[in-house]
Chains A and B, each alone.
Chain A
Amino acid sequence: MSASDDVVVVDARRLLCPMPVIRVQNEVKKSPPGTRIRAICTDPGALSDIPAWARVNGHKIIATESGDDEHIITLEVGEA
Chain B
Amino acid sequence: MTKQYKAAALISGGLDSMLAARAIQEQGIYVEGLNFFTGFCVEGHTHAIRKKDQNRPKRNNALWVAEQLGMKLHFVDVIEEYKEVLFNPKHGYGAHLNPCLDCKIFMVEKALEWIKENEFDFIITGEVIGQRPKSQRKETMPVIARESGAGGLLLRPLCAKNLPATIPEQEGWIDREALFDFSGRTRKPQMALAERYGFAEYAQPAGGCCFLTDAQYSVKLADLWKSRGTKAYELDDIMLLKVGRHLRPKPEFKVIISREEGEGKFLQGYKNQYVSLKTTSHAGPLALLDGQLEPGDLELAARMVARYSQGRNAGQVELEVREKDGTTRTLSVTPLPPGEIQKGWLL
Contacts and interface: CB of A to CB of B under 8 A. Distances in A.
Interface residues of B, number: 27
Contacts of B48: 16-17, 43-45
Interface stretch (A4-12, A32-40, A46-54): A46-54
B101 interface: no
Interface in B8-64: 35, 37, 41, 43-45, 47-49, 54, 57-60, 63-64
B60 A52 contact: yes
Interface string A43-71: 11101110011011110000000000000
B75 A45 contact: no
B321 interface: no
A17 B77 CA distance: 12
Contact of A44 (B54, B71, B72, B74): B54
A68 B72 CA distance: 31
A14 to B, nearest CB: 5
B269 interface: yes
A18 to B, nearest CB: 5
Nearest to B47: A45
A48 B37 contact: no
Contacts of B75: 18, 21-22, 25, 53
A28 B9 CA distance: 21
Contacts of A48: 57-60
Given A44-B54, A56-B63, A56-B66, A18 B35 contact: yes
A25 B44 CA distance: 18
B44 A18 contact: yes
Contacts of A44: 48, 54, 58
A19 interface: yes
A14 B60 contact: no
Contacts, number: 70
Contacts of B74: 25, 57
Interface string B61-81: 001101100111111010000
A52 B63 contact: yes
Contacts of B346: none
Nearest to B76: A22
B81 to A, nearest CB: 14
A58 B72 CA distance: 8
B165 interface: no
B239 interface: yes
A21 B76 CA distance: 11
Contact of B60 (A25, A42, A45, A58): A45
Nearest to B77: A22
Contacts of B41: 18
Contact of B64 (A14, A16, A52): A52
A29 B35 CA distance: 16
Interface string B199-238: 0000000000000000000000000000000000000000
Interface of B: 35, 37, 41, 43-45, 47-49, 54, 57-60, 63-64, 66-67, 70-75, 77, 239, 269
9 contacts: A16-B44, A16-B49, A17-B45, A17-B60, A18-B37, A21-B63, A49-B58, A55-B67, A58-B72
Interface of A: 14, 16-19, 21-22, 25, 42-45, 47-49, 52-53, 55-58
